[in-house]
Amino acid sequence: MKKVTIITLFFCALASQLIAQNSYWVFFTDKQNTTFDPYQYFDAKAIERYALNGADLYDITNYPVNGEYTSAVENASEELIGTSRWLNAAGVMATEEQITVIRQFPFVAGIQLIASDMEVVSESELENAAKSAKNYSDQIDIHQGKMFKEHNITGKGVRIAVFDAGFPEVNTHPAFQQMRDNNQIIKTWNFAQKKENVYLANSHGRMVLSCIGGRISDSVWLGMAPDAQFLLARTEINTEPLKEEVWWVQALEWADQNGADIVNSSLGYGKQRYQVKQMNGTSMVAKAANTAARKGILVCNAMGNEGDDKEWKMLITPADADSILSVGGVYSINQLTDFSSFGPTADGRMKPNVVAMAHCWVAGEKGNFTQAYGTSFSSPMTAGFAACVKQLHPEYTAWQLKTEIEKSGNHYPYFDYAYGYGVPQAGYFFGEKPEVKNNISFSEDDNAVYVTGKEPSTVFYKITNGDGSIDFYNQKDINENSCAIRFSKDRLQSGQTLEIWSNGQILKYAVGQKTLPKVDSLTAKNANYYSCAKTISIPANDIYTRKFNTTYKFSTVLNFSFMLPSMWSPSGNIWTCDRISHGLTFAFDNSWRVSKPYAIGFRLGFGSSWYAEESPIFVNPATGLPYEMMDIKVIKNNIKVTKFDLELVNRFILGYAGKEWWYIDAGIFGEWNTGSRHKTETQRGDAINTHIIRKYLNDGQYGLMMNRLDYGVRLRVGITRRFAIYGQYRISNLLKVKGTTTSDFPKWEIGIQLF
């Protein structure tokens, strides 16, 4: 038992230490006493890029952070994660007490807590997925990418930085053989481990890189830019979730220094630390991404896979950065994936910018090729496309490159918050004009506007406000002369415009501004046909105005635990017995995730618990004296309690990867006991007596009493969403002798919970 107590104390101390430390940005007031020579610092290709984009090599953001400031902060904190020139800041691990000290330094301008759930946007592989890419070329053909190949446009001379969680097998996989043979991997850096080796850890980076420049053979490509140059940066590691934002920003500065034209990032921050209203371009990674754009780098970032997540739905940062290409995912040119995150940003800016194939063939394990899905792969497909455009038009600035790619979208100038401007098309850059089919038309009656089709068509429609924001949008397939889509004129308010896109044809209608042909009775009748007329509106302001992100879950909780003996018995003797308890609770969970490094919430449950002990020292309820003093031995002592349980907790998120997280819950609990059954077996000599009491009342049999209300404090460490280790101290008495404060069961408990 002493061993168990030591382990428990160690566990609690460790948990306390984990709670105490966090990661912070420490911002400095100035860069006094620093010097900078851009021609020594920058790669020649970076200097060329600065000149092309009109960026200032001597901009103060390029100067290093003051070393004295950094040293002082490092000495006052637990660990220096890294520094950022652009932000004039240092990332540190520190306790709240240390941060209080650092905040008083005269050269510290401010401190900001760092979000800690940087995650790969997807690393899932598909097996026989119904909507997966059928041919290797699908992911290229959707962009008319063969045009680039036919014109020998392969990304040559363009430098692309790829940020990810690791690149295992890139140094051996046949998909990258030509890349290795031609020394196209210019530099690598593992920011997590401070070394050059990135060919390890998470396979996500290997799959992403193959969507830019991977080959199956000389004639079959996975990406459109196999001849580009590459900078590979490892910025993400599951065991260090508090440091990845710093590494991501450092990687951008490293890419800038080493001459990157384009950056692909299939990483992002989401709901574990942020509110949806914070997806407004103000995170440090979003600010860094915009800084990169000002320095002539085009950043491509995945929108995220939260489209089917009812708690979130919208994009993740840094996809909310204003000046980058944020990329959503499609199954085919006019079919959005189930999971692609939606725009707009929380401050109403249009996102995504474009979309690309999200079900792709990629470089798999052990030299094989497989299929994978996620906007993680839409983003590098777009980065490879951008490299080809950059090779074709080396005179383009980063801003021109971004806007021209948007204009090449198959829906341009129509956009919505699901597709952006659509799928970029190579034909745009070779002077090909998309075919426009006049296959839809407007008509109206006194109450509604109708869209009819002259042939089977996919129709995209939206209502825009006077400021250009979208009130709602949707898409629908219509059949030739068989049905129509109906829009009530009551839905169109003053200043709003109904916009329709189909096969390049765009129609617009505003109440009182246009006279349309009157609808005939046949069209009006067919417009009620549900498969065509049913519209689903997506209010643009509903998905980001919630004050908190709230989660509700009904779950079954199974407990297994040991009750740790109290230090002293009622008679003054040390408890020497082990107690075991277990129970089953049906619980309703609710939590609010807020912007601070914790979540607040409650759990309300109903269930039963069983407590069992062997040969304990137990008090005779009739006398209040230990049985052993009466020459009586307790063989078994069992209690079953039916109860309601309410728990209020603060949740401290320790780490997050995919849909699994690690956390600590610290809080209080209260249990209302509705009924109980107490069974005691005692032995005196050879005689064994069994006492069963069904329910305790205040004047219960033998003076025993079961407390109606139990309460205490509880600490839980969740290893995954399904498993947790917990410890608790019950302040109240579970069972006592009437008229005393004697407790016959220990108050300390440690165990596991299965959800």
Query: What does the pLDDT read at residue 156?
Result: 97
Mean pLDDT of 709-736: 81
* Per-residue model confidence (pLDDT) at position 655: 55
Which residue would you say has higher pLDDT here, 674 or 181? 181
Would the pLDDT of 527 be above 60?
A: no
Q: What is the CATH number of the domain that holds 458?
A: 2.60.40
Q: Of 625 and 36, which is predicted with more confidence?
A: 36
Tell me, yes or no, whether 293 and 425 share the same domain.
yes
Q: Mark whether 556 and 578 lie in a shared domain.
A: yes
Domain check: are 635 and 695 in the same one? yes
Residue predicted with more confidence, 354 or 494 = 354
Whether 8 is in a domain gets the answer yes
Of 76-90, 250-264, 486-500, the poorest mean pLDDT is in 486-500
Domain limit, last residue, from 48, 83, 113? 113
Amino acid code (one letter) for 666: A
Residues 162, 85 within the same domain: no
- pLDDT value at 564 more than 70: no
Q: Lowest-confidence range among 230-244, 588-602, 647-661? A: 588-602
Is residue 286 domain-shared with residue 140, that is, in the same domain? Answer: yes
CB 296 within 8 A of CB 52: yes
Say whether pLDDT at 420 is over 60: yes
For the beta carbon of residue 648, count every other beta carbon within 10 angstroms: 14
Distance separating the N- and C-terminal Cα atoms of the chain: 28
In a domain, 538, yes or no: no
Q: Which has the higher per-residue pLDDT, 17 or 474?
A: 474
Q: Where are the beta strands (DSSP E) in 66-184?
A: 79-84, 89-95, 108-113, 119-120, 124-126, 159-164
SS3 303: coil
* Residues 488-516, mean pLDDT to the nearest whole number: 81
Return all residues near 703 (Cβ < 8 A) that are at least 6 apart: 621, 622, 624, 737, 738, 739
Q: Is residue 539 part of a domain?
A: no
| Range ranked top by mean pLDDT from 129-138, 304-313, 579-588, 589-598 | 304-313
User: d(Cα 88, Cα 100) in Å, to the nearest integer?
Assistant: 20
Of residues 689, 684, 673, the one with CA closest to residue 730: 673
- Across residues 358-384, what is the average pLDDT? 95
Query: For 21-25, 223-227, 519-523, which range has the lowest pLDDT when averaged over its residues?
Result: 519-523
Q: Are residues 572 and 710 in the same domain?
A: yes
Residue 596 has pLDDT above 60, yes or no: no
pLDDT at residue 683 is higher than 90: no
- The three-class DSSP label of residue 53 is helix
Q: Does the residue 137 lie in any domain? A: yes
Mean pLDDT value across residues 281-305: 96
Query: Of the candidates 113, 148, 164, which is a domain's last residue?
Result: 113
Nearest to 658 by CA among 118, 220, 48: 118
Q: What is the mean pLDDT of residues 17-25?
A: 69
Q: Would 299 be classed as within a structural domain? A: yes
- Asked whether the predicted pLDDT for residue 147 surpasses 60, the reply is yes
pLDDT, residue 239, reads: 60
* Cα 555 from Cα 607, distance rounded (Å): 12
Domain match, 179 and 320 both? yes
- Tell me the mean pLDDT in the region 413-418: 95
Number of folded domains that form the chain: 4
Of 318, 343, 315, 312, give the one whose Cα is nearest residue 548: 312
| Confidence class for position 733, pLDDT limits 50, 70, 90 | confident
Confidence check: pLDDT of 520 > 90? no
Q: Considering only residues 197 and 717, tell me which one the structure prediction assigns the higher pLDDT.
A: 197
> How does residue 653 score in pLDDT terms, banded at 50, 70 and 90?
low
User: Which tokens sit at 585?
Assistant: 């609770």
pLDDT digits (tens, 9 = 90+) for 534-544: 333 333 333 33
CATH for 289:
3.40.50.200
pLDDT at residue 3, as a whole number: 40
- Convert 590-621 to b/e letters by CB count within 10 Å (16 or more is b): ebebbeebbbbbebebebbbebbbeebbbbbb
Boundary (domain end) residue, out of 98, 113, 128: 113
Among residues 438, 440, 465, 442, which one has the least CA distance to residue 515? 442
Tell me: pLDDT of 30 over 60: yes
Helices (H), 204-325: 204-213, 244-257, 284-294
Residue 685: predicted pLDDT: 60
On whether residue 542 sits in a domain, the answer given is no
Rounded to whole angstroms, the Cα distance separating 393 from 209 reads 23
Are 252 and 280 part of one and the same domain?
Answer: yes
Residue 582 predicted with pLDDT over 70: no
Q: What is the CATH number of the domain that holds 565?
A: 2.40.160
Q: Mean pLDDT check: name the lowest of 89-103, 139-153, 235-249.
A: 235-249
| Domain assignment present for 309 | yes
Q: What is the average pLDDT value for the chain, to the nearest integer?
A: 79
Residue 581 pLDDT: 56
Same domain, 392 and 510: no
DSSP 61: G
Provide the pLDDT for residue 116: 54
Higher pLDDT, 589 or 727: 727
The pTM of the whole model exceeds 0.75 = no
- Structural domain including 81 reads 2-113
**370 and 452 assigned to the same domain:** no
Same structural domain, 661 and 686: yes
Q: How sure is the predictor about 530, in pLDDT bands with cuts at 50, 70 and 90? A: very low
Strands across the sheet with 359-363, in order? Answer: 124-126, 369-373, 359-363
Could you tell me the pLDDT band of residue 694, with boundaries at 50, 70 and 90?
Answer: low
117 has pLDDT over 60? no
Res. 265: pLDDT tops 90 = yes
Could you tell me what percent of the chain has a pLDDT over 70? 71
Residues 279 and 134 in one domain: yes
C-beta of residue 87 within 8 angstroms of C-beta of residue 26: no
> What's the pLDDT tens digit per position in 300-335?
999 999 988 877 889 999 999 999 999 999 999 989
With contact defined as beta carbons under 8 Å apart, do 597 and 652 qualify? yes
Greater confidence, 589 or 94?
Answer: 94
Is residue 543 domain-resident? no
Q: Reply yes or no on whether the pLDDT at 263 is more than 80.
A: yes
Residue 698, CA atoms < 13 Å, CB-side half-sphere: 2
Look at residue 483 in the predicted model and tell me its pLDDT.
60
pLDDT in the model for residue 99: 94
The band of 396, judged by pLDDT with boundaries at 50, 70 and 90, is very high
